[in-house]
Every structure is written in C-alpha cells, then in structure tokens.
Structure 1
Amino acid sequence: MELIDNTREVFRRDRVWAFMLPKPVKVDVAKEIILYIEDLSVSFDGFNAINNLNLYIRDGELRCLIGANGAGKTTLMDIITGKTQPDSGSVWFGQTHNLLEHDEAAIAHLGVGRKFQKPTVFEAQSVFTNLELSLKTNKGVLPTLFARLGASQRARIDEVLLTIGLTEQRDQDAGSLSHGQKQWLEIGMLLASDSRLLLVDEPVAGMTAEETEKTAALLISLAGKHTVVVVEHDMEFVRSIARTVTVLHQGAVLAEGTMDEIQRNKAVIEVYLGEEQADSETATAGVAQ
C-alpha cells in the first residue's frame, strides 16, 4: 500500500504533469471569429451532402443550426471534428489552426468538443470519475492508473459540477442518472476537457419540460466564455436560446438571422418551416405583442 501511495504521489497531476503535457493551445480570434468555413463541399456516392457551404461563427456566441433531415448538419459536424474529410474547401479554428490538417484526437486537443445526441458517458463510473477522466491530462498508462488529483483539479471538477447542476450526484454512478442529467454530464465532460468550441447535437431530445428549461439556461450560461453551436429540431427550444440561427438546406446556408427573421423568411417557409407553422408562429407573436 505504501508503494502505491508513493507512486500516486510521484504522479500527482498538480506537481509533475505540467511538463508531460503538450503546450497550451492558443487560438487567434483577433478578428472575433473562432470558426471559419469557406467553400466547403463533400459528396457521398454522387449525393452532395455539403454544397459550397460558407459559415462563420463568432467567438463566444451561441449559434443554432436548423434544417430538415439531410440538410447537412451532421456531416458538417463530422467535418469540423475530423471524422469526415471534405472534397474541397477550408475549415479554420481561429486564424491559425487548419482543422483539415488534424485528426479527431488532435482537433479535440485544440479545444473543439462534440456532444452527440445519445449521451456517451461511462455509466459504471461515478459522475466525479467521468469528469476526472475528461480532464486535459496525460493519458499514459501509469499516470492514469496511479495519478492523484491535486487541489486545482478537484476545484475544477467542483466548478464543473456546480455549472451543470450535478453537485449532489457527484458520487452517483452515471448510469443511474436521468436522461437529462446524462446530457448535462456529457456537457460537463467537454467543459472539464477545456473545450472552447462546443458542438451540441439535439441536447433536449427525450427530455422533460423541466429538463429542457434547465438545459436552455445551461447553454446560455456557457456562451461568452465558450462558443456554443447547437443543432436542434425543437423550434420552441431554439427560440428560447437563439441569438443567431443558421438554416441549412441541401448542404448550403439557406438563411441566417434571428429566429423571428428566420420564421418570416419566405425561402425558409417554403423548404423547412411550412406555411402553416410559420403563420401560427406569426399569429402567436402578434398576440404576444
């Protein structure tokens, strides 16, 4: 036992791990843009999943992406995170990091995190351990097996627990959490890994009304310090959080603006929202005014 304790002390994260880690990533956002996507195209068996797409995301903003199934939302996220290589175009993280030159692991290290629709947490591990495993630390065998958390790492995990509202569940197995709590934990794992750009796919699918409301508050609170891009089909949820909405159609940007502007856009009405829904939304807005 003494040998194990001594080994854990040697590998304390707050003492020796700093020199074992890659250098901190610097993202140049001097022009206030954190994600540049230009002339992006990719096709699969003759189908243009992304078609000459141009998109710019400001540093610290909360952006919503909407569009019918097949509009290119998932493919776009796959390209940003290195899962899919495009046929042409460019994707830059800040002004200095060409994401198309990096694999998935390297892109994650740069600070681009992705939360899939279905939560991917370690269900047999506690909430605390899930966050601990997500910390940006050396992932070698010995450090992983023997490392002891330092005060700064524990404080960081406590901070994330408070942010995602799971402080009381810190010692609970992740598998016993509700669906909404698992979604929050996965967002917390991105925060623990120091992700600066969060790509969040359908965060409220399957949630209760109360969980949906809490998720909206969480995502809004993250904007500013983080850049948050949300893909969602629930238009009421999008309206509750959106500052800027981008509509994708056939792999390209169809429209962009506030939710009110999007719902009054004739092209969007024709291809996505539908005349009846748009009329209903406009009438509701008129009554509210």
Structure 2
Amino acid sequence: MSVIETVSDQARDVFRPDQVWPFLMPKKPEINVSQQVILYVEGVNLSFDGFKALNNLNLYVNDGELRCLIGANGAGKTTMMDVITGKTQPDSGTVYFGSNYNLLDRSEAEIAELGIGRKFQKPTVFEAHSVFDNLELSLKSNKGVIPTLFARLSPTEIGRIEEVLEIISLTDQRYMLAGALSHGQKQWLEIGMLLMAQPRLLLVDEPVAGMTPQETERTAELLTSLAGEHTVIVVEHDMEFVRSIARTVTVLHQGSVLAEGTMDQVQNNRDVIEVYLGEEA
C-alpha cells in the first residue's frame, strides 16, 4: 500500500461518521405514545374533482401493532397512506404521529425523518447494485459532502446490515445483484431498506402480490416478526394472507371506516358482507 493510500485510509478512520459526525446528526425524535396510540387520523376529508376520496376518516393504531387494512379499489387505502406520508394534503382533519407530532405540518422528507417508512406495491430497489449495497445506501446517515467523502462503514453499521440481512432472509444473497433476485426477494429487500432507517411505523402496500405460496408464507413470518419493535400497517387484497397475520382488521369503504375487529368479526359483519365480502361470505 502506498503512503497516499495509507494516509487516505487513516483520514477515513478519523472522519468516520460514528466517531466525529454524530453531533451533526438530527436527534432521534421522541414519539409520545403514553396513550399507547402511535397514529391518530381524525376527521380527515379529501375530495378530488368532486369525488370524496376520504370521508370523515377516523383511524387509531396502537404502538407496536400489526394492523391490516382491506377494502375495494377506491375505498381510500392508498389515499390515506398518501396523507400520512405527506404526499397529499387533506381538505380537513388532523393526523398525528404519537400525540406530539402533527404530520400535516411536515414535508415528506420530515415525516420520513420522524420514523415513518412506506413500501409501495412494486419493489423499487437498485437492481445494478448488490443486496448489501442496497442496504448500505439506505443507512440513516449524514449525506453531506464531507461525511460522504470520508465515509466508511463502522462496525455498528456493518452489524446493522448483517442483522437486517438475517431478518429478511437474504444473508446468502448479500453479494448478488438485486436485479437477479426473485420478485419476493426484491420485496423483502425493499422492506430491509426501510428497516435500515429504523422506522417506528411501516406502511406496506400489497406485499404478497405476485408471490409464490412459499414467498407469501415467508412474508407473513417477516411482517409478524416486525410487529412490537415496529408498528406495521399492511394494505392487502389477499384474504388468506390477511387472515394469517391479522390481529385487527380495518375495512375501508368510500373513504370511511366501515368495520374493525378480528378477521372473524369483520367477515361476519353484515355491512362488510354486503359491500365487500359478499361473494366470499
């Protein structure tokens, strides 16, 4: 190794983010969940060209809960997630993260910084990079020029990547290009990318669409394992999958909550049978 390379290596060690940059990092927000509720959606209304996408929507999700949302197309599921993540502003209502953070006053980036991660239906991974690189790129770190210039993974960061690889069952694929993964594995990788930022709340949209039965079963295990340390809201149309993971199911219809309870309670609810589950009941 040349002298220049040695000096460069030493400089990277000195300027490692975990050694000198933590004081530049934003403080981890303290979410007030003293009432056991982490998400409050109250009286939310939103119209598009006269169409009522959300109609006095009220939803409360407990900290550490795994909640499933179901409803026909146009019921308001995606629109609700758009409002929670700051992509869309409602006409009226309130949305709070814990009892102390008003999400409607914050941008999409600020909401992500608070600890809310969203996974869309179609996986969006960096296909030309390895699985490991995808997770590294998702680290919650200072992206400034100087920290990036001297960036080197710390033992803590490497350990976190290894931990997430284990959680998403991709340890053996760590050096495989993401583009070579199966559809299900890409979905798991994207969940892993969200986990790298250590979110408190995960919004997951139709995670098992297009998966094999084996991948669907593994996804159920994955999402179930995340509940507790994280709060997980899953939007899904596959009723068998919902039944396999759900403790509480919320049914949306025409922008409002139609019913809420266990899967058995929901499936036996007369209103739900009539407007959504009629053919299956």
TM-score, structure 1 normalization: 0.94
Q: 1:3, CA displacement in angstroms?
A: 4.9
**Is 1:238 aligned to residue 242 of structure 2?**
yes
Corresponding position: 1:105 with 2:106: no
The answer for the alignment partner of 2:123 in structure 1 is: 119
CA–CA separation in structure 1 for the residues paired with 2:102 and 2:148: 30
Q: Higher mean Cα deviation, 10-19 or 104-113?
A: 10-19
Structure 2 counterparts to residues 1-289 of structure 1, below 5 A: 1-274=5-278, 276-278=279-281
TM superposition shift of 1:194 = 1.0
- Computed over aligned residues only, the root mean square deviation of the Cα atoms, in angstroms, reads 1.0
Q: CA deviation at 1:145?
A: 4.1
CA distance in 1, matches of 2:141, 2:57: 35
Question: Residue type matched to 2:280 in 1?
Answer: Q
The whole-number CA distance in structure 1 between the counterparts of 2:189 and 2:148 is: 21
Q: Give the counterpart letter for 2:81 in structure 1.
A: M
Deviations for 1:60-109, whole angstroms, at most 9, x for unmatched residues? Answer: 00000000000000000000000000000000000111000110111001
Contact 1:66/1:247 (<8 A) preserved: yes
Q: Distance in 2 between matches of 1:51 and 1:44?
A: 12
Q: Any gaps of 5 or more consecutive residues in structure 2?
A: none
Query: Offset at 1:111?
Result: 0.3
Q: Which one-letter code corresponds to 2:238 in the other structure? A: D
Q: How far apart in 1 are the matches of 2:139 and 2:32? A: 23
For 2:145 and 2:74, the matched residues in 1 are separated by 41
Cα deviation code 1:170-217 (max 9, x no counterpart): 111111111101100111111111111000000000000000000000
Query: How many Å separate the matches in 1 of 2:54 and 2:27?
Result: 34
TM-score (norm 2): 0.96
Offset, 1:8: 2.3
What is the CA distance between 1:136 and its match in structure 2? 1.1
Flag structure 1 segments of 5+ consecutive residues without an equivalent.
279-289
Equivalent residue pairs, number: 277
Identity rate of aligned residues, in percent?
Answer: 71
Mapped contact 1:67–1:248 kept (Cα < 8 A): yes
* Alpha-carbon separation, structure 1, partners of 2:46 and 2:230: 28
